[in-house]
Amino acid sequence: MNASIPAPDDRPLYRQLADQYRRAIDNGVLRPGDRMPSMRAFMQRHGVSLATATESYRTLERDALIDARPRAGYFVRARPTATLPAATEPDLAAAPGAAQFVGIHSAISAIVSKFQRYPDALNLGGATASPDLYPTDALQKAALRALRRRPTLLTAAGHDQGDPELRAIIARRALDAGIQIGADDVIMTHGGIEAVNLALRAVTQPGDTVAVESPCFFGLLQALESLGLRALEIPASPTTGLAIEALAFALQTHPDIKAVVVVPNLQNPLGSVMPDTHKARLVELCARAGIPLIEDDPYRELADAAQPPRSLKAWDADGTVIHCTSFNKTLAPGMRVGWINGGRWHPRIGMLKFAQSRHNEQLSQVVLAEFLETNAYERHLRRLRDRLRIQRERMAAAIAASFPDGTRFTPPGGGMFFWIELPREVSSSAFFAAALDEGIRVMPGTVFSNAGRFDHFIRLSCPSTDLDQADQAVRRLGRLAARLVAHARTP
Amino acid sequence: MNASIPAPDDRPLYRQLADQYRRAIDNGVLRPGDRMPSMRAFMQRHGVSLATATESYRTLERDALIDARPRAGYFVRARPTATLPAATEPDLAAAPGAAQFVGIHSAISAIVSKFQRYPDALNLGGATASPDLYPTDALQKAALRALRRRPTLLTAAGHDQGDPELRAIIARRALDAGIQIGADDVIMTHGGIEAVNLALRAVTQPGDTVAVESPCFFGLLQALESLGLRALEIPASPTTGLAIEALAFALQTHPDIKAVVVVPNLQNPLGSVMPDTHKARLVELCARAGIPLIEDDPYRELADAAQPPRSLKAWDADGTVIHCTSFNKTLAPGMRVGWINGGRWHPRIGMLKFAQSRHNEQLSQVVLAEFLETNAYERHLRRLRDRLRIQRERMAAAIAASFPDGTRFTPPGGGMFFWIELPREVSSSAFFAAALDEGIRVMPGTVFSNAGRFDHFIRLSCPSTDLDQADQAVRRLGRLAARLVAHARTP
């Protein structure tokens, strides 16, 4: 960068220097991942004392512009929010809407059929990471080993609740999420979605009302629809997830709520993580009201934090929480391995699972058991988190640089989703269709609500390890949004 | 055998000779599979003409005691019915019972927990063939090939409705069952049981009544129970399956029937196969009443007939029949691959399947596609049918030889089940418990009805390719039944 000293002004020197570096970062002269000068080089270049240099770096660090890395120095952080305000927080003063039977499937089918007419479109609308971020080779080798060691894996029937060895390993690992269970408290399921379906079937009857986050994963809305349930949408914050006090109020005003479904960690689509105090309060609230709390937690291990967040189940003292999760998002979308702990309803869920689909296939369970037992899973997770973070930072920068004024979003602390609030003039349905014409799949916000909300939101996911391709796609979307705004404003 | 000429009586010589051989077979002097003397040796041994020899053999053949095998001569047939009368036909004059909510799960759980307390017991209570009758090596090799060829099978998400190539092959093969469909009319499911569950969910609401065969597969009763449905039991014949006229009457008297579930081929537990005329009449009956007919057809390809029986779907002109089947019984209990054609309800079933558990795992679908495409499946089926037939003949002979008077059963024309009517004095619950003490698992008849029927029936399956072991186990069961009869008759 240019090392000339800025024109003197009446602010302290350390702040003037920090501002100079801030502009360099904002202009792209310094880019995310670039190394900052060493402290000694900084002092020499600007002719300042160690105290001033230190204070400049502290200022930049406090403003989340640079990061210290132990024994490596300071580096420019990605800073997507630099030019975009955070997503709007929900209006909690508004009265909750009425619980409604869900009718979302036909809208989703329409989107899926439109996707299928553009098979070559770049997929920013999916809910899994790029296939090359999953450990294909290692899983393939593990499967080959498992098949050679246990030739009857395909022909012999398996254990009703799932492979006992795998369930024991899962129970041990659940301690990381703050969950204390044994192997018999785990039932393997066909992905997390079967787990959530079984949980809903265990505690509701058709016609019942279920409280869900708004926005929420459209797969949950489809499950509610297919089970003949009503959804009551409770606002959720882009940063802290479900608004607990809004739920507390709804529980008072809607005595017919029979279950609450929450994605506590890296919520889909928000990317929010509930703070521990909220988690504790939510579990307590449901326990006191005697209402089952269904926790869908497939993204927890994709959080950036050194210590991954805990599951709601960690705060569960009396079996109120039904914990559902899977390895579909973290390890292998093709393996369809999930599991459930049913809390107080565990025996009933075991009955429903047996009656509905019997046991899971054995092979993928044996492969998974080996993966978990040898720490290969942990190694993979670290790599996956790093690569997703790099993708997110790059995409966030492209969004901030290219989307029009009025766009807002809060960068998530992990996972693969961006929940983007477009300017009010832009309908996500129109945006979705126009993006497909540009060869890009995005998910319109309307499918994340049964109550017609989020028409000016879209969900983008990190789809590709080709960062330049994703970057260009996002910039095309940004220009598209700008055109739609301009069009709407044309008299 | 002893070749002395019997004392003269006033019956024709050919009949006297035939009776002599009949006694030798009944006494076990000639055993199933033994070769009969050649025609020339018979003439010489008994000093009779070719006409008399021929007539003797025709008599034995007509009585199903011996079989001609082209270019090999005559052989003694297994003849299980020789000393046991056929199973009792249901009383169709009795009025149908009331439809009842199903409550069978706790009884089945009790049986399963008792089984688990005897892990080393010989399993004559299962519903799959012996593991060594399934093509373990060939499937293992196919899986290894598939994994090497397509390394992303575990990590990439699959197609919503199942692997397109497999569905195309299944659609072509369905012609054998008389079913004309395309690949898009097939949805892959987690075994046949998920297919039946989806069918029931598509056409019923909790509280509805479903007509089922009596006796029927207890897994169906568990599915009804888990879905909050009522069962109306329609009598079924041990030879021809569902009693159509009883169903016709029930449809008139029970207007609340919302679905009919039938296993048309090798019904579990009866082993019955519906004649074509019955199948046609059943489909017509349901079509005219506008009631969905759910066909569960996993055993069809295990029938002994040169031409396997057709599915009910073959007679379906207007989408009344929902066809469910699987490869769990015929190919690989561990693969959990089934499929469904939903008739008029196909789109709704596709929605339910997606909402409930997404797509099946890819690997087993790819393995299955290869197996079906190369005729390896047909070769395996021929071998499986032959070996099951030999097992059944041996077991049938042991049952006939060892069970007490008053025992009845009809040997099935395929598959792996024996539905045995014990003497009235013997309760199958007591028999079940006593058999476990003897180290043998059997299925008590009570779990095949929600209406408390079949307490003096048991279902035995062919569990082992060790014929002597199975033979001895059946004889132990026969002596046990005799003891229970004697005990009941003791004043």
Which of B74-78, B106-110, B350-354 has the least mean pLDDT?
Answer: B74-78
Q: What is the pLDDT of residue A46?
A: 92
| Coil/strand/helix, residue A80 | helix
- Whether B136-375 and B13-77 are alike in CATH topology: the answer is no
Q: Which two tokens stand for residue A452?
A: 């017609």
Record: contact A157-B357, CB cut-off 8 A = no
The set of residues, in sequence order, having a beta carbon less than 8 Å from that of B479 and lying 6+ positions away, is B402
Q: What is the pLDDT of residue A441?
A: 95
Run means of pLDDT, 10 residues per run, chain A, 491 residues: 50 89 76 88 93 92 82 78 77 81 91 90 90 92 94 90 96 96 97 98 97 97 97 96 96 95 98 97 98 98 89 98 97 94 97 95 95 92 90 90 93 94 94 96 96 94 82 94 92 77
Q: What is the pLDDT of residue A98?
A: 87
Neighbours of A30 (CB within 10 A): 20
- B158: which chain A residues are within 8 Å (Cβ-Cβ)? 334
Record: contact A136-B158, CB cut-off 8 A = no
The set of residues, in sequence order, having a beta carbon less than 8 Å from that of B212 and lying 6+ positions away, is B220, B221, B224, B231, B232, B233, B234, B260, B261
Q: What is the pLDDT of residue B1?
A: 42
Average pLDDT score over chain A:
91
- B334: which chain A residues are within 8 Å (Cβ-Cβ)? 152-158, 361-363
| Residue in the structure block whose two tokens are 């048309």 | B264
Cβ within 8 Å of A, B 58-87: none
Integer CA distances (angstroms), A102 to A94, A193, A221, B352, B357, in order: 21, 17, 7, 14, 18
Nearest CA to B73 out of B112, B41, B45 is that of: B41
Q: What is the pLDDT of residue B83?
A: 64
Record: contact A356-B223, CB cut-off 8 A = yes
| Residue B26 pLDDT class (50, 70, 90 cuts) | low
| Residue in the structure block whose two tokens are 């008994």 | B46
Nearest CA to A161 out of A351, A298, A324, A368 is that of: A351
Percent of chain B with pLDDT over 70: 96
Architecture, CATH, for domain A13-77: Orthogonal Bundle (1.10)
- B225: which chain A residues are within 8 Å (Cβ-Cβ)? 355
Fold of B100-132+379-489: Aspartate Aminotransferase, domain 1 (3.90.1150)
| Residue B25 pLDDT class (50, 70, 90 cuts) | confident
- B223: which chain A residues are within 8 Å (Cβ-Cβ)? 355-356
Q: Does B465 touch chain A (CB under 8 A)?
A: no
Q: What is the CA radius of gyration of chain A?
A: 24
Beta partners for residue B233, in sequence order: B212
Q: What is the ipTM of this complex?
A: 0.85
**B389-409 burial code (b ≥16 CB/10 A, e <16):** bbbbbbbbbbbbbbbbebbbb
Closest Cβ–Cβ partner in A105, A134, A333 for B351: A105
Q: What is the pLDDT of residue B131?
A: 82
Q: Which two tokens stand for residue A302?
A: 């994709």
Give the DSSP H/E element, type plus range, for residue B395.
helix B376-402
Q: What is the pLDDT of residue A462?
A: 85
The set of residues, in sequence order, having a beta carbon less than 8 Å from that of B268 and lying 6+ positions away, is B127, B216, B217, B299, B417
Q: Does B489 touch chain A (CB under 8 A)?
A: no
Give the DSSP H/E element, type plus range, for residue B11.
none
Nearest CA to A124 out of A442, A374, A415, A373 is that of: A442
**B135-169 burial code (b ≥16 CB/10 A, e <16):** bbebbbebbeebbeeebbbbbbbbeebbbebbbbb
The set of residues, in sequence order, having a beta carbon less than 8 Å from that of B215 and lying 6+ positions away, is B236, B269, B270, B419, B445, B448, B449, B453, B454, B457
Q: Under CATH, domain A103-132+381-489 is a member of which superfamily?
A: Aspartate Aminotransferase, domain 1 (3.90.1150.10)
Angle at B25 between CA B20 and CA B29, to 5 degrees: 95
| Coil/strand/helix, residue A239 | coil
Nearest CA to B260 out of B285, B277, B240 is that of: B285
Average pLDDT score over chain B:
91
Q: Which two tokens stand for residue B373?
A: 């495409």
- A222: which chain B residues are within 8 Å (Cβ-Cβ)? 351, 354-355
Beta partners for residue B122, in sequence order: B440
Min Cα distance A163 → chain B (Å) is: 12
Closest residue of chain B to A330, computed from CA coordinates: B155
**A102-125 burial code (b ≥16 CB/10 A, e <16):** bebbebbeebeeebeebeebbbbb
Q: Which two tokens stand for residue A154?
A: 């395909």
Q: What is the pLDDT of residue B216?
A: 97
Q: What is the pLDDT of residue A432?
A: 96
Question: Are B295 and B264 in contact, with CB atoms under 8 Å apart?
Answer: yes
CA B383/CA B333 separation, integer angstroms: 17
CA A299/CA A413 separation, integer angstroms: 11
The set of residues, in sequence order, having a beta carbon less than 8 Å from that of B31 and lying 6+ positions away, is B25, B76
Q: What is the CA radius of gyration of chain B?
A: 24
Min Cα distance A401 → chain B (Å) is: 32
Averaged pLDDT for residues B76-87: 71
Q: Does A111 touch chain B (CB under 8 A)?
A: no
Record: contact A334-B206, CB cut-off 8 A = no
> For the domain A135-378, what is the CATH code?
3.40.640.10
CA A449/CA A232 separation, integer angstroms: 10
Angle at A284 between CA A282 and CA A286, to 5 degrees: 70
Nearest CA to A395 out of A416, A377, A365 is that of: A416
Beta partners for residue B25, in sequence order: none
Q: What is the pLDDT of residue A27?
A: 63
Domain B136-375 has CATH 3.30.1330.40: no
Q: Which two tokens stand for residue B463?
A: 């569990």
Min Cα distance A484 → chain B (Å) is: 33
Indicate if the pLDDT at residue B2 is higher than 50.
Answer: no
Q: Does A201 touch chain B (CB under 8 A)?
A: yes
Closest residue of chain B to A192, computed from CA coordinates: B357
**pLDDT, tens digit, 9 for 90 and up, residues B380-433:** 999 999 889 888 988 998 999 999 999 999 989 999 999 999 999 999 999 999
Q: What is the pLDDT of residue B28?
A: 67
ω into B269 cis (within 30 of 0): yes
Beta partners for residue A260, in sequence order: A211, A293
SS3 content of chain B, % helix, strand, coil (to 5): 45, 15, 40
Integer CA distances (angstroms), B69 to B36, B37, B73, B382, in order: 11, 13, 6, 17
* Burial zone of A479 (CB within 10 Å; 0-12 exposed, 13-18 middle, 19+ buried): middle
> Which DSSP category does B364 fall into?
H
Task: Report domain extents, chain B.
Answer: 13-77, 100-132+379-489, 136-375
- Regarding beta strands A293-296 and A443-444, do their DSSP bridges make them parallel or antiparallel, or are they unpaired? unpaired
The set of residues, in sequence order, having a beta carbon less than 8 Å from that of A467 and lying 6+ positions away, is A390, A391, A394
- A154: which chain B residues are within 8 Å (Cβ-Cβ)? 136, 139-140, 143, 332, 334-335, 364, 367
- Regarding beta strands B443-444 and B241-242, do their DSSP bridges make them parallel or antiparallel, or are they unpaired? unpaired
Percent of chain B with pLDDT over 90: 74
CA A276/CA A122 separation, integer angstroms: 37
